[in-house]
Chains A and B, each alone.
Chain A
Amino acid sequence: MTTAFGGDEAVAARGGALARWIARRPLAALVIAAAAALALWLILAPWPAGFEEWFGRKRLFVNALFNGVTLGGLYFLVAAGFTLIFGLMRNVNLAHGSLYLFGGYMGYEAADWTGSWLFSYIVAFICCAVVGVAMQILIFRRMEGEDLRQTLVTLGLAIIFSDLMVWVWGGNAIQIATPDYLNGPTPTPIVVAVKSSGEAVFLQYPRVRLVIFAAAVLIGVGMWLALHRTRIGVMIRAGVDDRDMLSALGYRVQILFALVFAFGAGLAGMAGIVGGTFQSISLGEDSHFLLASLQVVIVGGMGSIPGAALGALIMGCSEQFGLVYFQNYATMVTFLIMVLVLAIRPQGLLGRG
């Protein structure tokens, strides 16, 4: 199921190249199309009787799917910055999870103070962006090209940040309240069951998760456009593809690095609020989201935004389906996907050779 979704995403990302791709790989295209059709049918149509024995109740299945896709949206927000920072600077930012958590806490404080959920996003973005820029300018600029040392520094920072945040906010989980206008369920046109009276039961899904997912998609498309249609974006992509290009930029490369660091960190901070609204934020969530970012980026391909989107969807869905169908081995599903990708395509599904 997840692969069907992944395939769709990949095809969409390639846009105009779709026809060429199909011509080049007719078999793969056929498989993906068939899987997509099957997925659509599984989601939209009422299930025949025998199905529930295999997949459980349809409500479970569809809920897992929706949870997976929306969780994928959250993972994408966190991993997009991580993958850009890695692609451009070869810096495995192990403090990325800390930025996520920090953003969540700052957003919580801001929402608490002003009462505005939307405003808290701005606060979280700015706070984390400032931390990110500070890290880049104060530390990483001084050790350019030493990727291992940079990574170790981010590790030291992650250890310190995590302890300081426990100091300030304690070890208890914090939930960020959903604003009233997004509270409650939204009806969807998806039939999850048919009552004995013949009346169809439709899926109800939390509105806030749908809205946030839509926002994540918008941000993803926006990033893709920015990377392909603006001068800075073109410079960033050139830098990811060819490291030597960067030296040609001279001093401006530092501005570029600081910008990408700010944006990636800010995005992680905003994701912290999303995470705090979806679930909760607490001690340990920093490593959880760092690891999720790692997996997303390994599966999707390092340095690639469409790769991060694809990886996030796969990881979100496999995590949720794993929870529903293989309780004791749920993480193994995610893990096995990662292993499979590494074995077949070490550079990630949409990574460059």
Chain B
Amino acid sequence: MALTETSTPSIAAPRGGALSRWVSRHAAILLLGLILVLLPAVANEFLLDQIVGWSLALGMIALSLMFLAGYGGMVSLAQMTIAGVAGYMVAVLGASSLPTISLFWPWWVATPLAIAIAVVFGTLSGALSARTEGIYTIMITLAIAAAFFYLTLQNWPIFNGFNGFTTIPAPHFWGVNWRAPVPLYYLILFFAASSYGAVVYISRAPFGLALQGVRDNPRRMEAIGYNVAAHRVAAHAFAALIAAIGGVLLVWLNNQISPFSISFERVIDVLVIAVVGGLGHPIGAFVGAIIYVILRTFALDALLAVGLDGRRFQTIIGLGFLLIVLFSPDGVIGLWRRWSARLRANGGSRRL
């Protein structure tokens, strides 16, 4: 499956002069990190939270899908739903504008518990699809996502129907109001960077390598001693953790959650983000997310500016997605890789 092409540098290759080599190999990502850390010095609140913060939180949810699809060959459409379960639980267990439903437990109880519930949910839905092969995962997880959407829509005692929850405060601790734009930005950046780092690291650890083995050849994995179904379920659990944290951050960022945060369109958006960015490398999830957020934020005005109907935004997203799937199955990062490879080839001996 060309979609899940993953470059695999060798494990445990000898490392001499480790630090400088490491820095030069990761120059691009370190530079990006530095820019993101220094961003609050120059950016306004809108750019900070509504563009970059949103992209990073959404990117985490897409990253959880990238991990499952890129390394495990399992395209799960339940990742936004898992994020939604975590978000809803934060509102139900913690505080919101609905005293009749919310339990107002302190954040350090409510948040970890919400994430734990979402991880259990993600693990169970993973277990449901782990026994079936590849393409079935899409169907089963989509059905799970739909069931949860309709549940939140219909159910008033717990999920407050289609109104959902508003005024869900981010916690105060260490003397910081984490709902304030800059602290919230750093909070999101911290978790996004950690989960990115974790996925990159684990992809070369035994667990991640074995997952790639399961993707390429489940039968052979059984024949060299791996419990394939257990490995798949464990991957779902790990991905659910990332998605759940992303979901909590999204709720704090948006200050609300409703069925429309986890509707069919939002569930599909996560897949669109991950595929457009590229399933071949974890950075693709964030690349896809920033493209999506910029489009969502500015496409309407841009379309109107050139005299088109601004409401046709979905068609633009759909067409872009279709073009990527048809012509660059490894997404934008695949385009970039090919483009830089050609540049190098033209530039002659730059690399040697």
Complex Cα gap A158–B321 (Å): 11
Neighbouring B residues of A343 by C-beta, 8 Å = 128
Neighbouring B residues of A332 by C-beta, 8 Å = 147, 151
Complex Cα gap A287–B138 (Å): 15
Is A209 part of the contact surface with B, judged by Cβ < 8 Å?
Answer: no
Which residue of chain A lies nearest to B321 when distances are taken between CB atoms in the complex?
A156
Neighbouring A residues of B151 by C-beta, 8 Å = 329, 331-332, 335
Neighbouring B residues of A69 by C-beta, 8 Å = none
Neighbouring A residues of B135 by C-beta, 8 Å = 90, 92, 147-148, 151
Is B110 part of the contact surface with A, judged by Cβ < 8 Å?
Answer: no
Is A111 part of the contact surface with B, judged by Cβ < 8 Å?
Answer: no
Q: Which residue of B3, B140, B264, B319 is within 8 Å of A298 (Cβ)?
A: B140
A133-169 CB mask vs B (1 if < 8 Å, else 0) is 0000001000000111101110111111011101100
Neighbouring A residues of B4 by C-beta, 8 Å = 148
Closest CB of chain B to A81's CB: distance in Å?
15
Is A230 part of the contact surface with B, judged by Cβ < 8 Å?
Answer: no
Number of interface residues of A (CB under 8 A): 43
Neighbouring A residues of B150 by C-beta, 8 Å = 331
Q: Is the CB of B329 within 8 A of A162?
A: no
Q: Is the CB of A160 within 8 A of B318?
A: yes
Is A120 part of the contact surface with B, judged by Cβ < 8 Å?
Answer: no
Is A339 part of the contact surface with B, judged by Cβ < 8 Å?
Answer: yes
Neighbouring A residues of B75 by C-beta, 8 Å = 148, 151
Interface centre among B154, B313, B317, by most chain A C-beta atoms within 10 angstroms, is B154
Is A67 part of the contact surface with B, judged by Cβ < 8 Å?
Answer: no
B3-19 CB mask vs A (1 if < 8 Å, else 0) is 11000000000000000
Interface size on B, as a range, is: 35 or more
Is A2 part of the contact surface with B, judged by Cβ < 8 Å?
Answer: no
Neighbouring A residues of B131 by C-beta, 8 Å = 346
Neighbouring A residues of B264 by C-beta, 8 Å = 287, 291
Q: Is the CB of A156 within 8 A of B139?
A: no
**Majority SS of interface residues in chain A?**
helix
Complex Cα gap A41–B339 (Å): 72
Complex Cα gap A159–B322 (Å): 10
B144-167 CB mask vs A (1 if < 8 Å, else 0) is 101100110011110000000000
Neighbouring A residues of B297 by C-beta, 8 Å = none
Neighbouring B residues of A146 by C-beta, 8 Å = 1-2
List CB contacts (< 8 Å) of B272-330 with chain A: 272, 275, 309, 311-315, 317-319, 321-322, 325-326, 329
Complex Cα gap A38–B311 (Å): 54
A227-266 CB mask vs B (1 if < 8 Å, else 0) is 0000000000000000000000000000000000000000
Neighbouring B residues of A155 by C-beta, 8 Å = 268, 271-272, 321
Complex Cα gap A346–B140 (Å): 10
Q: Which residue of A152, A156, A158, A295 is within 8 Å of B143 (Cβ)?
A: A295
Q: Is the CB of A153 within 8 A of B326?
A: yes
**Majority SS of interface residues in chain B?**
helix
Complex Cα gap A287–B142 (Å): 11
Is B132 part of the contact surface with A, judged by Cβ < 8 Å?
Answer: yes
Closest CB of chain B to A68's CB: distance in Å?
17
Q: Is the CB of A160 within 8 A of B315?
A: yes
Which residue of chain A lies nearest to B143 when distances are taken between CB atoms in the complex?
A294
Which residue of chain B lies nearest to A341 when distances are taken between CB atoms in the complex?
B128
Q: Is the CB of B322 within 8 A of A291?
A: no
Complex Cα gap A87–B246 (Å): 36
Is A328 part of the contact surface with B, judged by Cβ < 8 Å?
Answer: yes
Closest CB of chain B to A78's CB: distance in Å?
15
List CB contacts (< 8 Å) of A280-330 with chain B: 287, 291, 294-295, 297-298, 302, 327-330
Is A338 part of the contact surface with B, judged by Cβ < 8 Å?
Answer: yes
Q: Is the CB of B147 within 8 A of A346?
A: no
Neighbouring B residues of A149 by C-beta, 8 Å = 1-3, 325, 329
Complex Cα gap A338–B147 (Å): 10
Closest CB of chain B to A348's CB: distance in Å?
10
Closest CB of chain A to B315's CB: distance in Å?
4
Closest CB of chain A to B159's CB: distance in Å?
9
Is A44 part of the contact surface with B, judged by Cβ < 8 Å?
Answer: no
Q: Is the CB of B128 within 8 A of A342?
A: yes
Complex Cα gap A346–B154 (Å): 28
Is B213 part of the contact surface with A, judged by Cβ < 8 Å?
Answer: no
Neighbouring A residues of B144 by C-beta, 8 Å = 335
Is A70 part of the contact surface with B, judged by Cβ < 8 Å?
Answer: no
Q: Is the CB of B143 within 8 A of A148?
A: no
Which residues in B have some Cβ–Cβ distance to A below 8 Å? 1-4, 75, 128-129, 131-132, 134-136, 138-140, 142-144, 146-147, 150-151, 154-157, 264, 268, 271-272, 275, 309, 311-315, 317-319, 321-322, 325-326, 329
8 new A-B contacts at CB < 8 Å, known A152-B275, A152-B325, A298-B143: A90-B135, A149-B325, A152-B3, A166-B311, A295-B143, A297-B139, A334-B147, A346-B131
Closest 5 CB pairs of A and B: A159-B318, A156-B322, A335-B147, A160-B318, A163-B314
CB pairs A–B below 8 angstroms (26 shown): A90-B135, A146-B1, A146-B2, A148-B3, A149-B329, A151-B75, A152-B271, A153-B322, A153-B325, A156-B319, A157-B318, A159-B272, A159-B314, A162-B314, A163-B312, A163-B315, A163-B318, A167-B311, A329-B154, A329-B155, A331-B147, A335-B144, A338-B143, A342-B140, A343-B128, A346-B131
